[in-house]
Copies of this chain bind each other. A is one copy, B any other.
Amino acid sequence: MATTTAADKRAQAKAEYDAFLAACPSRRLLDRISDKWVTLILCALGGAHPQGPGHTEPGTEHGPRPMRYSELSRQLAGVSQKMLTQTLRALERDGLVTRTVTPTVPVTVTYELTGLGLSLQQVVRGVKGWAESHMDDVLAHRATYDADA
């Protein structure tokens, strides 16, 4: 296939999976990662500034860092043990986080982003950021919408 260019390959890669199709595996993957807890866990594990810009102020910057179960539980206010464990397991299975057990007494378990998890974190961080920075706009629109009703 002498006609296969880089552009062709990119087109193929894009066409291979299509979340618009109900039967496509990527549809279910999209459903999994489109989740409040997934977003928050990934963001927590990613630290404050995951892909910090050019210059880094020591002390203000901490990229991806391992976190313990209890740490996560504390940072994700209101998450139930069940959801936290369940979501972490799913993320581990999908290769987004690693789970490390240190046989101390009592046992110490840490979770950390993988490279794959980091790549997703970069994008879901945007979702969380959007929610926080556009909250006022949304609230304003809701007010006028509800008023007209």
Which residue in B26, B127, B141 is a CB contact (below 8 Å) of A94?
A: B141
Least Cβ distance of A72 to chain B in Å? 11
CB distance from A74 to the nearest CB of B (A): 10
Q: Report whether B135 and A130 are in contact in the complex, using a CB–CB cutoff of 8 Å.
A: no
Contact of A127 among B25, B30, B77, B135 (CB under 8 A): B30
A76 to B46, CA, bound (A): 32
Q: Are B141 and A93 in contact (CB under 8 A)?
A: yes
Range for the number of chain A residues in contact with chain B:
35 or more
User: Given A17-B135, A25-B139, A94-B138 in contact, is the A36-B30 Cβ separation under 8 Å?
Assistant: yes
Cα-based distance from A134 to B30 in the complex (angstroms): 11
Say yes or no: is A101 at the interface (Cβ < 8 Å to chain B): no
Chain B residue contacts of A71, Cβ below 8 A? none
From B17, B127, B130, B142, contact of A93 by CB (8 A)? B142
A123 touches B120 (CB 8 A): no
What residue in chain B is nearest A128 (Cβ atoms)? B19
Q: Please, which residues of chain B bring their CB within 8 A of the CB of A134?
A: 116, 119-120
Render A15-30 as a binary contact track against B, CB cut-off 8 A, 1 for contact: 0111111110111011
Instruction: Let me know if A93 and B36 touch, CB within 8 A.
Output: no
